[in-house]
Structure 1
């Protein structure tokens, strides 16, 4: 696939897409999640690229929606779908669904939608989906507690490229390794010549390490899982709740994630936790241990009367002795007990039994006051604990990374499956909420049975069902607020959804495979000469050629004077009747237009059956071949039958309304 052949994809975007493992497959599938993994491409941009690629694949020129109002209907339909998506991803993914004249594209989506409509939008699944998001890529991590070592320049270059997360050091001999071991908790030597060399510290000789970078830098794998831990857990919950068929071992994934902290460190290892606490608490524990010893020794001194003979005092002075000598002579037992208490406290506080011998050496046997820990021993203890902590953490990370290594691709597929499930469930919820059915294609025009528009500002359950069908051209008449515009909206919505490949809000529906939909909304006031001319040019283009168009027009007469409007609309209808178009024109001048037509144009009517408490009672389904009465006519008719009114006057007015009526062809 030539990526730059996709509309809107330039050379820079194409280069970014090529960084994906299989950009062609992602574009063919409209896989927004995968496309959005390309560097610098957001989900919104990914959706637009996917839609453009789909159009290109199906030879779709993107001109199906021919007017602003038809595009508004599509956006309204799309919004209804997106409102039923849980994840932002699904809302974006739904943007790849669009109305098309391409039969292959329509059938492709119909296959998807028919399966999606069978999905059960279980509340437990919807709740689990709230935590699912597209996976984030692993970050560039930097590990400072270990390094790679080599004496070969070529190996040095390969190592820096293969494992950028670690420092790579050049060494000449074992002495160089020993120096590195003093600065790093782990040194991985890459040269076979170092095999058998004994060096103090954690020095591993692994000539094949570059072939398996995970063994020396497990953080590379762990960071991905740590960053996406919550998303993976949510996806696993979705898979369980929805009984998704997945290649991912959910038990293994959840068990591995349980051993991983959000920062990429290992969780749940008691020994590692103890070492970490010991390193963190060492200074504080030593300080408290010193206080324990000094408090006990001070108490012993305060309770003890020490008497020194003059000769003894003189001897001590001559020897240059100080308090230490006095302690050794007079309070040796008390000092030993105080030091032992300090040692016991430090051992208990640190909780690292494998290092108890060195911990005890922190307090020496030589009497002194105040009692102080040996800084050199404490420093050595810190080094040992830190090295042991880092070695154990690295080993646990390697083991965890190995258990997760084979789960990365299945885990990514698991998240993608959960996100795609949300797309399917949005379609299912749409179909269920609006009692939809899959439409049929065939024959001329359209036919809707029991259609209810979800675009109205009333609860869907309160919407009256509408039956309506047109083949060829027709005028739609009716009272004000009787539902003429909402009927046009319903027709447009059904046709647009059908050409998106989606179910439609009706008990049954059939539509011709239209090449475009042109919906002319009601004009707000009379147009000036320039706008009037532009409107006529637009209809001139629609009335020519043999394209199968659906043309919906709402009260075109408002663009100019009523008398001229009727003549113009009659001419437009005559031309559309000669083409392959299907057209419905809503007009209050239906009678005048019919009289001006040189063809036998169908006039349908949304009939008001009367007035109740000042409110119209309307049959929302248009009556075929019937010119509906206007609201003023209904009011005059009501007054003419009022026994308390001037019946003769209103009868004369009522007769005037019959001027534009001709007997219905069939009732």
Structure 2
């Protein structure tokens, strides 16, 4: 895929996308989160790029929402869906849904929508989804206890690129290798020529190490799973709660993750824990062993009476002997017992096994008081324990990394399916919250039954259902506050949702496929000459663009406000005539329906939102337009009410006014 062929993707953006592991796959899937990981690309821009890729794949260059009010309807519909997501990913992913003119695109989304509407957005699933987010790669991973070594400059360059987490060193001979081994716990040699060389330290000859970086740096795999552990565990819970088929053995995955700490270290291995504790506790254990020995000696001395003859005392002084000699002569057995207790305390406290003999040498046989350890022996013990711990940790890391590495691709699918489920559940909740149904797509114009708008500033349950059907060109009349604008918004919403491939808030609906939705909202005040001319140009271009191959739905709200009423009626009559000649579908809301119909040279259908009267100052209105009926105005209803209510003389006046309508 040529990335620059996607609308909105230039050379710089294409370069950023190329740094992703699979940019083509991310674009094919519409994976907004993956695209947003590219440098300099925000989630909003990623959504636009994904939409551009989808449009290109479907050869869908059209823009159905051709006017600002139409685009506002789309944004409001999108917001209603996004409000029902749990994850940021799903909210971003929904932005790749757009009203399309391509039948194949609409049908593909409709197929997914039907499946989504059957899902159950249970609280348990949504709670589990709260812990899911797109997988992320660890950054700045550095391993400082090992290095790679080679004498070949080309291999050196390859190693630095393949395994950047560890240092790579150029060496000349075995001597320099030995020097490296003194500075690193492990040296991995990439040259087979060193095989058979007698080298000190942990030096491994592995010429094929670059083919399997995880053999050198298991931490790379472990860091990825440690960083994403919570997300993977949450995704597993989502699959269980939702009854989804998992791409991997969830039990095996959860078991492996339970052995991994948040910092990428292995946990749950008794031998590693024993060695780690021994290294950490060695100083405290030595102090405890000394205390045990000295307490033993002190108690022995306090319990015994030691008598020294004068000649013996002189002899000891002449020889320069001190308390050590006295201990050796008088308390040899007690000293041996004290040292034995110290040795056993050290061994038992640290849980030593292979290094018991070293630990026992920490306390010598020569009597001293107080009993003290040999620091050189303790340092040797510390070194041996640390090496054993590191070897065990490395073994465990290799073992766990091997288990997890094979799950990487399945885990990516696990999280992707959980995130995509959130998209489906948002659609399911939207459909349930607004009593939606899948509309039929085809025919001319539109027909809606039992439709209610979720865009109104009242609870959805309080919205009155509307039935309305239009084919061809129609004038919609009605009293003020009768719901004419709300019907246009509702029709626009149904048309937009249908072309997005989504359900609509109606009991039944049929929508003819359109290439453009031209929605013109009510203008505020009369336009000046320049704005008026610009508006006429828009309608001039509109009327000439409609064709059988390019069907357009036109919704216009009180166009008469752009200029004087008489001129407005003439202008709208002309626009409607032109649209009718091209078999367009249009609904024009106007208070001048009667004047427009009289002016037009073509029969123009007129529908009306019927007001049945006024009660307690409130209009009684049937919100569904009545076909072929010119609605009465609010003033006419008020005059009629007065004519019915007033006394004879006043009633005659109001009756005469009523006859003027």
TM-score with structure 2 length normalisation?
Answer: 0.93
How far has the Cα of 1:618 moved from its partner? 1.7
Post-superposition CA distance 1:313-333 (Å, at most 9, x none): 322222222332233334434
Structure 1 residues 325 and 578: CA distance shift in structure 2, 3 A: same
| SS of corresponding position for 2:354 | helix
Distance 2:386 2:426 in 1: 53
CA contact (8 A) 2:497 2:503 kept: yes
Q: Find the counterpart in structure 1 of residue 61 from structure 2.
A: 61
1:354 matched to 2:358:
no
Describe the shift of the 1:330–1:13 C-alpha distance in structure 2 as closer, same or farther (beyond 3 A): same
Q: Distance in 2 between matches of 1:78 and 1:658?
A: 49
Question: Is the 8 Å Cα contact of residues 33 and 92 (structure 2) preserved in structure 1?
Answer: no
Aligned to 1:532: 532
Deviates more, 1:194-203 or 1:520-529: 194-203
In structure 2, the partner of 1:6 is 6
Distance 1:344 1:15, change over 3 A: same
Structure 1 residue aligned with 2:505 = 505
Whole-Å separation in 2 of the counterparts to 1:371 and 1:212: 53
**Alpha-carbon spacing, 1:29–1:174, altered in 2? closer, same or farther (3 Å):** closer
> Is contact 2:639-2:658 (8 Å) kept?
no
Q: Which residue of 2 aligns with 1:602?
A: 605
Does residue 628 of structure 1 match 2:631?
yes
Q: Which residue of 2 aligns with 1:232?
A: 232
Q: Say if 2:322 is the partner of 1:319.
A: no
In the other structure, the counterpart of 1:615 is 618
Bigger mean CA deviation after superposition, 296-305 or 354-363: 296-305
Aligned to 2:571: 568
User: Does the CA contact (< 8 Å) of 1:73 and 1:493 recur in 2?
Assistant: yes
Asked if residue 100 in structure 1 is aligned to residue 100 in structure 2, the reply is yes
CA distance in 2, matches of 1:39, 1:291: 61
CA contact (8 A) 1:451 1:465 kept: yes
* Displacement of 1:151: 4.8
Structure 2 unaligned blocks of 5 or more: none
Are 2:577 and 1:578 equivalent residues in the alignment? no
Equivalent residue number for residue 454 of structure 1:
454
What SS does the aligned partner of 2:204 have?
strand
Deviation at 1:425, TM superposition (A): 1.9
The residue aligned with 2:657 is 656
Deviation at 1:270, TM superposition (A): 0.8
Please give the secondary structure, in 1, of the residue aligned with 2:517.
strand
How far apart, CA to CA, are the structure 2 residues paired with 1:305 and 1:493? 105
Match of 1:286 in 2: 286
Per-residue displacement from partner, 1:395-435 (whole Å, max 9, x unpaired)? Answer: 11111111122211111122112212221222222222222
Aligned to 1:387: 387
- Following superposition of structure 1 onto structure 2, how do residues 16-415 of structure 1 map, counting pairs within 5 Å? 16-171=16-171, 176-197=176-197, 199=199, 201-302=201-302, 304-415=304-415
For residues 565 and 5 of structure 2, the distance between their equivalents in structure 1, rounded to whole angstroms, comes to: 50
**How many correspondences in the alignment?**
658
RMSD (Å) for aligned C-alpha atoms: 2.5
| TM-score after normalising by structure 1 | 0.92
Runs in 1 of length 4+ with deviation above 6 angstroms? none
Q: CA deviation at 1:334?
A: 3.8
Partner SS for 1:475: strand
Is the 8 Å Cα contact of residues 294 and 371 (structure 2) preserved in structure 1?
A: yes
Task: Please identify, of 329-338 and 2-11, the stretch whose mean Cα deviation from structure 2 is larger.
Answer: 329-338
Range with bigger deviation, 412-421 or 367-376: 367-376
1:590 maps onto 2:583 in alignment: no
The answer to whether residue 643 in structure 2 is matched with residue 640 in structure 1 is yes
Runs of at least 5 residues in structure 1 that lack an aligned partner in the other structure: 661-667
Kept in 2, the 8 Å contact 1:60–1:101? The answer is yes
User: 2:423, 2:533 → 1: CA distance?
Assistant: 45
Report Cα offsets for 1:351-381 as digits up to 9, x if no partner: 2333222223222222223332211111111
Mapping 1:447-486, distance limit 5 Å: 447-486=447-486
Q: Secondary structure at the match of 1:353?
A: coil
Moved more, 564-573 or 132-141: 564-573
Question: Given the superposition, is the C-alpha separation of residues 42 and 296 from structure 1 closer, same or farther in structure 2, using an over 3 Å criterion?
Answer: farther
Deviation at 1:295, TM superposition (A): 4.0
CA distance in 2, matches of 1:367, 1:651: 134
Between 432-441 and 293-302, the greater mean CA deviation after superposition: 293-302
Tell me how far apart the structure 2 counterparts of residues 190 and 110 of structure 1 sit (CA, whole Å): 56
Verify the 8 A CA contact 2:292 2:342 in the aligned structure 1.
yes
Look up the SS of the partner of 2:148 in the other structure.
strand
Which one is further off, 149-158 or 51-60? 149-158
Matched, 1:418 2:418: yes
> CA contact under 8 A between 1:473 and 1:583: conserved in structure 2?
yes
Q: Distance in 1 between matches of 2:155 and 2:523?
A: 76
Whole-Å separation in 2 of the counterparts to 1:580 and 1:426: 38
